[in-house]
Amino acid sequence: MPVLDSQLFGAPARDQDESSRALPAAGLAAADSARAGKRILVLYTDSGYGHVATARVLREYLGAERPWRIETVDVYREILTGLDPFRALTGMSGPDIYNEYALRRGHTRVLWPVIAAGSSVAIRLGSPFVVRQLSAFLRTQRPDMVISVMPLINAAVAASLRQLGGAIPFITIVTDFCEPMHAAWIQNVDQYVVCGTEKCREQARRFGLPPEQIIAAKGLVLSPKFHAMAQTRTPASAAVARTTLGLAPDRLTGLMMFGGRGADRMFDFAAAIEASDLPVQMIYVCGTNHEIADDITALPARRPRHVIGFSDAIERYMAASDFFVGKPGPGAISEAMVMGLPMILEVGARLLAQERYNANWAQAVGAALSFRNVEGLCAAIAALNDPARLAAMRRALAQQPNSAIFDLPALLDGIFSARRATASA
């Protein structure tokens, strides 16, 4: 079985069965919020792990930097429980279908558009019900600000806040590099939108948002753990980390990860690497996909490797690595870039719509190579065995700074101040 984080690093371990629903629901008494300063409600979905991770970072970092109380709520599971056409038709919720079949099994060519379109249509058709449910929930919570880190729902959130008088500022933090389809994230003129890329900012301008409502961030919101680890990482510390994992301290080391859920196709890629003569050793992070972790662990051992399931200490594994292999999820790309890891990114039909732009962008700035199959992956790893190639890609990574989480408290301060000025005018 894969080794747990706590056995290696003393890091907090999470059971592989623990779902991304681990964020506590909102619902504490409004009277308590007066003692804690402003109360901010963060709306997320557990369709994929990126939304959950962003909500968790906001709760932990903003709450530490400001006298604010940050509470999180899974919109589909805790507010709109009655509006899920997928549960009615299949017995499984939309998020569960997305996580199991689109993310883990890779059925994206037809399934992802069906899920996205189905969710969007259900929200639109049920708009009065959705707005009524959201308004009732927000009325009981009485937040000072609402932040969404999820797509599709934002027009309904804006409408519900208008029903409450329109005084509560509404911010959407886009966790993708850009809109994957028309009006996925940017849906209402009442939104402030935090955009981590110029492409996303251009889309917000095209939508018609006023400049003061388009907030330019340097990259996507990430946990400060990655920045801290990147600042202290040295060749010596990387060698120590590898030794801790049972790896050779001075061998080219890759980290393979296909999201927090893991993907079944990881096994084919791992098997090809393990059967090759490439001068590389690998760390495989399989997420909550137990079967793939076990299958990779059982592969014949021709070289050192380390296999783990879900981890809350990805930055530690990245600190032991020289490069990253995986699908071009926005969070994984951003984490690898902060850690200075050149990337080998999967491209092709199995990518989600929001991931296709990411891979093209990372290649265009010189930070990534791409692959479509096992042969292409092995060829890309062989290319990274060239120290000059690796160094050039690291220089390209250094040209893409990320400070979004550190800039966010001041940006939100500015929104509060702007709202106060408008109210007193």
Number of domains, the chain: 2
Q: What tens digit of pLDDT does each residue of 129-178 get?
A: 889 999 999 999 999 999 999 988 899 999 999 999 999 999 999 999 99
On whether both 419 and 275 belong to a single domain, the answer is: no
The whole-number average pLDDT for the span 231-251 is 96
Q: What is the pLDDT of residue 130?
A: 86
| 88 inside domain | no
Give CA–CA dist 53/65, Å, rounded.
Answer: 18
On whether both 195 and 244 belong to a single domain, the answer is: no
The whole-number average pLDDT for the span 323-337 is 95
Angle in degrees, CA 172, 412, 142, rounded to 5: 75
Q: What is the pLDDT of residue 212?
A: 94
On whether both 183 and 294 belong to a single domain, the answer is: no
On whether both 418 and 383 belong to a single domain, the answer is: no
Give CA–CA dist 320/311, Å, rounded.
Answer: 14
Q: What is the pLDDT of residue 230?
A: 97
**Rounded to 5 degrees, what are φ and ψ at 153?**
-95, -5
On whether both 242 and 388 belong to a single domain, the answer is: yes
| 102 inside domain | no
On whether both 213 and 306 belong to a single domain, the answer is: no
Highest mean pLDDT pick, 12-16, 153-157, 244-248, 310-314 = 244-248
pLDDT value at 307 more than 50: yes
| 18 inside domain | no
The whole-model pTM stands at 0.83
Give CA–CA dist 226/416, Å, rounded.
Answer: 28
Which of 122-131, 144-153, 314-323 is predicted with the least confidence, judged by mean pLDDT?
122-131
On whether both 416 and 394 belong to a single domain, the answer is: no
Q: What is the pLDDT of residue 425?
A: 59
Q: What is the pLDDT of residue 154?
A: 93
What's 78's domain CATH number? 3.40.50.2000
On whether both 179 and 237 belong to a single domain, the answer is: no
Q: What is the pLDDT of residue 92?
A: 56
Q: What is the pLDDT of residue 50?
A: 79
Domain that holds residue 238: 224-398
Structure tokens given for 367: 């930070």
pLDDT value at 205 more than 90: yes
Structure tokens given for 309: 């399931």
Q: What is the pLDDT of residue 34?
A: 38
Give percent helix, percent strand, percent coil of the chain, each to the nearest 5.
Answer: 50, 10, 35
On whether both 271 and 326 belong to a single domain, the answer is: yes
Q: What tens digit of pLDDT does each residue of 48-58 get?
A: 667 889 999 99
Which of 40-49, 55-64, 359-368 is predicted with the least confidence, judged by mean pLDDT?
40-49
Which of 126-140, 241-255, 280-294 is predicted with the least confidence, judged by mean pLDDT?
126-140
Q: List 244's β-bridge partners, or say none.
A: none
Confidence of residue 81 (pLDDT cuts 50, 70, 90): confident
